[in-house]
Amino acid sequence: SVSGSWAYLLVVIATGLMTDYPRRFPHLFGMVAGAMVVVIAARLLLFKALKTGFAHRPEVWRFRLRAAILATPLVWGFFQAATTHLYQREWTCALVVILTSGMAAGATTAFSPDLALHRNFQLLLWTPTIVVNALGLGSGYALAGLACLFTGYLLWQGREHSRQYWRSVKTRQRLARQTAELESHQRIKDEFLAVITHDLRNSLQSVLLFTSTLKHRTQDPVVREMGDHMRETGTYMKELLDDLHDLARLGMKALKMKAEEVNLVAIVERVLAEQNEPAGEGRIHLRLSSPERELSLMADEVRLRQILANLISNAIKYNRPGGWVEVRTRVEGEQVVVEVEDSGIGIQPEDHDRVFELFSRVDGATVEGSGLGLAITRQLVELHEGSLELESQPDKGSVFRVRLPRSGPAALAC
Ligand code: ADP
């Protein structure tokens, strides 16, 4: 509507320059041009006062804006009717009628939200011309008929636009409501999951403690063996609860991260040392290839260890007896890159995206797992504003590549 106001001004100027109106009917043209300038100025001033005026007294502002908008067809409708009367079938008359049609057509989309405003606009613009020409005082009955048809079409089109507009508004509102509801349900679910996993983890910790005490207090081989099984299952359950707890906190955006200067090479060495035992069971050779002894970056140490532990333990789990796992670190521009390569079973190309999804496990995976590790790892890498890439060939092995900004996540910068 603001651009429409400027267009009206151009229309007034064009009529003044392109026709002999100002010369032949200076009073009438002066009156119309003056009235249009006042109306346009009023519209623009009202828009300028949108923030203050609308916020203070929205109803008054709305009433004034409607009045300013409807004043345009009032002035122009009179002008058009007078022109058809004064100029009959001359070129000036045709030009004014064409300009009026343009205004009318433009208004159908501009006023889609307000059907009453649109209707009143069209009726005020065209009724005088229809009446004058129907009474035989204008350019002819044909113009009255055409104006009637055109007005009818515009009224129908305006109604359709308005319907579509309100339908889309309702759809948007419904979607916004549903999104809010979903977010609230998701939050409740995450909170519930966070609390329950936290409590279960603590109880399980006590059970594991009692199990090891029991094992050390008894000489009975059957009880000792049962103790070992209980400990193994309990440890797996605790890992699962740890993952679910992290997942819930990630969903709630409640995972606290702090960026500090850490030595990546030292962290990799530590994680590799922790994974020595499971690697030994599968006779898997672990090696580190790093050009430097020290590679510093800004990151959350606990979460970085978790990222590496997830990737390295997967590389061991999904390997073959006697295989190898190599961890490589390097600097590339502003990024630090860690690659975890294995000589394992690999992943089919169609599963490359799927393995990062929650609870997704590749069909036929024989090793125990929950399908949570990679999803959490990717979220942790993204919290560091880094990326996680995968290259893999079935039966040959996989490379998981983590890229992290050396200066740490910008969101955590002090
Ligand atoms: P989990 O290992 O608990 O099943 P993850 O999210 O860590 O869950 O891994 C998802 C799936 O991706 C695994 O079930 C496995 O099929 C596949 N996968 C992950 N890492 C590797 C790897 N290094 N080599 C082959 N397959 C892997």
Domain coordinates in residue numbering, the chain: 2-139, 182-251, 260-412
Nearest atom of ligand 1 to the alpha carbon of 319: 24
Predicted pLDDT at 400? 98
For 233, the token pair is 């299952």
CA-nearest residue, atom 16 of ligand 1: 362
Alpha-carbon distance 206 to 35, whole Å? 87
Cβ contact 29:16 at 8 Å: yes
For a mutational test of ligand 1's pocket, the pick from 355, 399, 402, i.e. the residue with the most ligand atoms closer than 8 A to its C-beta, is 355
Alpha-carbon distance 43 to 41, whole Å? 5
Cβ contact 105:150 at 8 Å: no
> Residue 20 CB: number of other CB atoms within 10 A?
12
Distance 29 CA to ligand 1 centre (A): 81
Distance of CA 343 to the CA centre of its chain: 39
Alpha-carbon distance 327 to 284, whole Å? 13
pLDDT digits (tens, 9 = 90+) for 185-217: 999 999 999 999 999 999 999 999 998 888 888
Predicted pLDDT at 244? 92
Alpha-carbon distance 104 to 102, whole Å? 5
Predicted pLDDT at 369? 81
- Ligand 1 is surrounded, with C-beta below 6 A, by 314-315, 318, 342, 344-347, 355, 361-362, 365, 369-375, 398
Distance 374 CA to ligand 1 centre (A): 7
Distance 381 CA to ligand 1 centre (A): 17
Predicted pLDDT at 414? 46
Nearest atom of ligand 1 to the alpha carbon of 344: 24
Counting as low any pLDDT under 70, the low residues of the chain are: 1, 363-365, 412-414
Cβ contact 325:279 at 8 Å: yes
Beta bridge partner(s), residue 404: 336
CA-nearest residue, atom 8 of ligand 1: 371
Distance 20 CA to ligand 1 centre (A): 83
For 116, the token pair is 């009453």
Predicted pLDDT at 28? 96
Q: Where are the beta strands (DSSP E) in 200-334?
A: 260-263, 285-289, 296-299, 324-332
Distance 314 CA to ligand 1 centre (A): 6
Q: Where are the beta strands (DSSP E) in 205-307?
A: 260-263, 285-289, 296-299
Alpha-carbon distance 320 to 311, whole Å? 16
CA-nearest residue, atom 20 of ligand 1: 314
Cβ contact 196:245 at 8 Å: no
Q: Which CATH fold would you assign to the domain 260-412?
A: Heat Shock Protein 90 (3.30.565)
Distance 370 CA to ligand 1 centre (A): 9
Single out the residue of 290, 348, 340 nearest to residue 316, CA to CA: 340
For a mutational test of ligand 1's pocket, the pick from 318, 320, 390, i.e. the residue with the most ligand atoms closer than 8 A to its C-beta, is 318
Type of residue at 374:
L
For a mutational test of ligand 1's pocket, the pick from 238, 319, 361, 377, i.e. the residue with the most ligand atoms closer than 8 A to its C-beta, is 361
Cβ contact 224:215 at 8 Å: yes
